Each structure stands twice: as structure tokens, then as C-alpha cells.
């Protein structure tokens, strides 16, 4: 089905341009920007809306620019590399505003999107997926339609050395003629203070011809650590049994006057310039006091809790990743922190136990996964009666949903500020910091 002369109204979460058909139906158009006039073909019809692909551009946006990456358009890693960076920042602010207004049903002030210092080569982690190639095995990214893997030999948003490391691993695999489909992923990580770590994931307990593999790796990549993850079924590359083959399984990063130990398979923010700006913004908005108890939920390696520990009385961090918690405890020793305690366990179960004891925390920081906290989690947070909450979200949809849960039938709290951060330039993804404050008790007089 072809629809002609559609005007793209705005960009929405997911990277699509939004337009309306002549009968008022919502149409999400791939690779279309605000102000463009296009003819489209409907590729998928849903109840009340459709997805479409551009058949012809009648009028193109002046904000379009030449993409730096030659794979843009076939690789699904970036969606907006042909859009001026200033327009990307404006679109992300608008997306956050719309999601909060539409899903949370509240009017909250959304600040301008905080820009990244680097918009190319900014990622400190990359994940490649295995694909069959003419001469053996290669590694690449999902295609735009996610139906296949696209081979990439130079990704513009990761360091050049990552591509070199990937090429060497491909060469080793193919020189050993390991043609069976046992490899699933290669993950490469680095920090400003540590050499890169290469993580190879396979469906098997061992890398085929493992001794030869290790020997060739050492010869070609001296000083680089190598880990193996047995990943039989999961689509998540780093979920499975882990084995250190060469070097150390940890990295180190410095942020201001703190040093962080980071296990190779644990979460850490991919864009350090944005992380530093976020830390400064949290400090500015949270008004930490020496009397405060700070609760750091989904704390990872203790990034936030340790950074703010000198400003408060006590920090309690909670995280389900036991390796991350072990690193967080090491980070307290590395930084000589005496008032911070990190616990391994489920965040919801932790909150249930603490609310049963009527425990209170003046300040809370939470950085949940994309799925957010959920209704139960937000209800439990209310029972802790914090003075302020800093909610860090990588998904504005679940952030808005959680705000609705928290504020429903609750006049005690107000969304003080919402600040988008461009953690992921050239993509539709946006990191959002939401500050929630407890309303002052009204003065009833004498």
C-alpha cells in the first residue's frame, strides 16, 4: 500500500519519523526527519497505527548531513548519523517530554539535552555477533531490519583499536579453520587506565583448539587480556560460565579523585564524558547533607555511591550481580571509603525487608535496567519516605510509567527536574536523569 505526500511531524522513541495518513492514522516512517515530504509504502499494519518505509523523498530536511560511516543505512547500530547533531539533541529532549506527558500524565520541566564531548569513537565497549563468511567466520552488527548480521570493518562510534582487535581474532579463528558454528559473540572493552579486554563467547565449554587459539592470541596481541564465556542459549553475550585465559579479568577507571575496579563482564557506562557530567548534575540537584543515609539501588561497581560517599553519613548499595558487588567492596578499599556497604541481592526483596523494618533513607539513587522498577518497586520506594530521589533511566517509556506509579494518589512528591543526557550519539537512545523531591510540609500556623 502506497501513501503519497506525507509530512513528517517529529521524531519519536524508536528512531522513527511520525506522520499522519489522510484519515488521521499514525504512521511511523523509518529514516524520515521532521519537515520532510515523502511517499511511503506501508510495511506493517497494526491496530490504530502502521510502520512504513520511504519510497520517495519529495522534500528533504535541511538538517540532513552526510553520514560519516559507510555502513550507515544497512547496519542497525546507528539511526540518526545523517542528522545534524544539534537536531539529534533537540529530538531527544522532545522525545523525553512527550513520553513523560503522554505516559505519566504530568507536566514536568525537561531541560535541554546534555551533549556528549565526543560524538565519534565514544564507546568504551562493543559487542559483535558471529556470522558466516566466504572465508570462514566474521563478526558484525545486526542489520537495520535485524534479520541478518552486517560485517563492519570500521565502526565510527567505537575506538579504531577495537576493529583491529576484532580483525586479529577473526584471523586466528579462520587460520585454525574453526568452521563449526560455535562462536556467538566477541565483546571488547577498555578504559582510560587499562588495556583492552577481549571476551570470546561460544556455545561450547571450551574454545575449539583452545591451546592453539591462546598461543596465537598471545603472539599477535601481547599484553591484551582474553576471557571465554560459555553462552549456550542466551542472546546476552556475557551471560554464562566465564574462564580467564590470558591476563586479568578486571579493568580500572578514574573519575575525578576516585579509582574504580570494573570486572570485564559487569556493567559500566559506555560514555565516560557523559557519566562525569551526570555525576556533577546529581551532586548539584540532590543537595547531599552529612546527616543523610544514601541508598544506591542497582549500584553496579559502586559508581554513584562511592562518588558521593564523602558527602553523606552512610551509603548502602544493592546489586544482583555478585561480581559487581565484589568489585564495589574492593572499590571502597581502593578509595579508603569507610561509610559505604554493598550488598548482593534482589533490589525488590531488599526494599521489602527494609520497609518492614520501617527503615528510612534521606536520599536514593536508582539506575535500573531498561525494564525499570515497576509498580511494586515504586510503591516500596514511597514507604522509605526519601527527601530526594535521583532516577537514572535508559528508557524514557519505563521511566514515565514508573513516575506514574510513584505519583498516583501521592501528593507528597514532585518531579523537580528531568535532564536528558546524550550517552549514545547518532542513535535514538537517551539517558535521562529525573529528580523527585518530597514536598515541604505546609505551615499550619499556631
| Residues that are catalytic | 394
For 100-111, give one letter per residue: b (16+ CB within 10 A) or e.
beebbeeebebe
SS3 content of the chain, % helix, strand, coil (to 5): 25, 30, 40
Which helix (DSSP H) or strand (DSSP E) does residue 129 occupy? strand 125-133
What pairing do the DSSP bridges indicate for beta strands 149-151 and 136-142? antiparallel
For 167-176, give one letter per residue: b (16+ CB within 10 A) or e.
ebbbebbeee
Neighbouring C-beta atoms of residue 383, cutoff 10 Å = 15
Report DSSP state, residue 153: S
Q: Is there a contact between 417 and 436 (Cβ–Cβ < 8 Å)?
A: no
Q: Is there a contact between 336 and 357 (Cβ–Cβ < 8 Å)?
A: no
Helices then strands, counting H and E runs in the chain, come out as 9, 22
What are the backbone angles phi and psi of residue 203, rounded to the nearest 5°?
-85, -5
Amino acid at each position: 500500500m502506497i501513501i503519497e505526500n506525507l509530512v513528517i511531524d517529529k521524531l519519536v522513541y524508536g528512531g522513527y519519523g511520525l506522520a499522519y495518513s489522510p484519515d488521521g492514522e499514525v504512521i511511523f516512517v523509518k529514516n524520515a526527519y521532521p519537515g520532510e515530504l515523502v511517499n511511503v509504502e506501508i510495511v506493517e499494519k497494526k491496530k490504530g497505527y502502521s510502520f512504513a518505509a520511504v519510497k520517495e523523498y519529495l522534500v528533504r530536511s535541511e538538517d540532513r548531513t552526510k553520514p560519516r560511516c559507510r555502513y550507515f543505512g544497512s547496519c542497525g547500530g546507528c539511526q540518526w548519523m545523517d542528522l545534524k547533531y544539534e537536531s539529534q539533541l533537540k529530538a531527544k529532549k522532545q522525545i523525553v517530554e512527550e513520553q513523560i506527558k503522554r505516559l505519566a500524565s504530568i507536566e514536568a520541566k525537561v531541560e535541554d539535552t546534555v551533549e556528549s564531548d565526543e560524538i565519534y569513537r565514544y564507546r568504551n565497549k562493543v559487542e559483535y555477533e558471529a556470522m558466516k563468511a566466504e572465508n570462514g567466520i566474521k563478526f558484525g552488527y545486526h542489520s537495520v531490519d535485524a534479520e541478518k548480521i552486517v560485517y563492519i570493518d570500521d565502526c565510527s562510534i567505537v575506538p579504531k583499536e577495537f576493529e583491529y582487535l576484532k580483525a586479529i581474532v577473526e584471523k586466528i579463528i579462520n587460520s585454525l579453520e574453526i568452521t563449526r558454528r560455535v562462536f556467538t559473540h566477541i565483546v571488547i572493552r577498555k578504559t582510560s587506565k587499562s588495556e583492552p579486554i577481549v571476551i570470546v563467547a561460544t556455545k561450547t565449554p571450551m574454545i575449539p583448539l583452545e591451546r592453539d587459539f591462546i598461543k596465537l592470541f598471545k603472539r599477535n596481541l601481547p599484553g591484551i587480556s582474553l576471557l571465554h564465556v560459555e553462552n549456550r542459549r542466551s542472546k546476552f553475550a556475557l551471560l554464562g560460565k566465564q574462564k580467564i585465559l590470558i591476563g586479568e579479568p578486571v579493568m580500572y577507571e578514574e573519575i575525578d579523585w576516585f579509582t574504580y575496579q570494573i570486572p570485564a563482564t559487569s556493567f559500566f557506562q559506555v560514555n565516560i564524558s557523559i557519566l562525569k557530567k551526570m555525576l556533577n548534575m546529581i551532586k548539584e540537584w540532590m543537595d547531599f547533607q552529612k546527616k543523610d543515609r544514601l541508598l544506591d539501588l542497582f549500584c553496579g561497581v559502586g559508581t554513584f555511591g562511592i562518588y558521593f560517599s564523602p558527602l553523606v553519613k552512610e551509603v548502602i548499595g544493592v546489586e544482583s550481580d555478585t561480581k559487581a558487588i565484589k568489585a564495589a567492596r574492593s572499590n571502597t578499599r581502593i578509595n579508603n571509603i569507610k561509610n559505604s556497604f554493598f550488598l548482593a541481592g534482589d533490589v525488590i526483596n531488599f526494599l521489602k525487608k527494609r520497609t518492614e523494618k520501617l527503615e528510612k533513607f534521606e536520599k536514593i539513587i536508582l539506575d535500573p535496567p531498561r525494564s525499570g522498577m515497576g509498580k511494586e518497586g515504586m510503591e516500596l520506594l514511597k514507604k522509605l519516605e526519601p527527601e530526594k530521589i535521583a532516577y537514572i533511566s535508559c528508557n524514557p517509556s519505563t521511566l514515565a510509567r514508573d513516575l506514574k506509579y510513584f505519583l498516583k494518589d501521592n501528593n507528597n512528591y514532585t518531579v523537580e527536574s528531568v535532564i536528558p543526557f546524550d550517552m549514545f550519539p547518532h542513535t535514538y537512545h537517551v539517558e535521562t536523569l529525573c529528580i523527585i523531591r518530597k514536598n515541604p510540609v505546609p505551615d499550619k500556623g499556631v
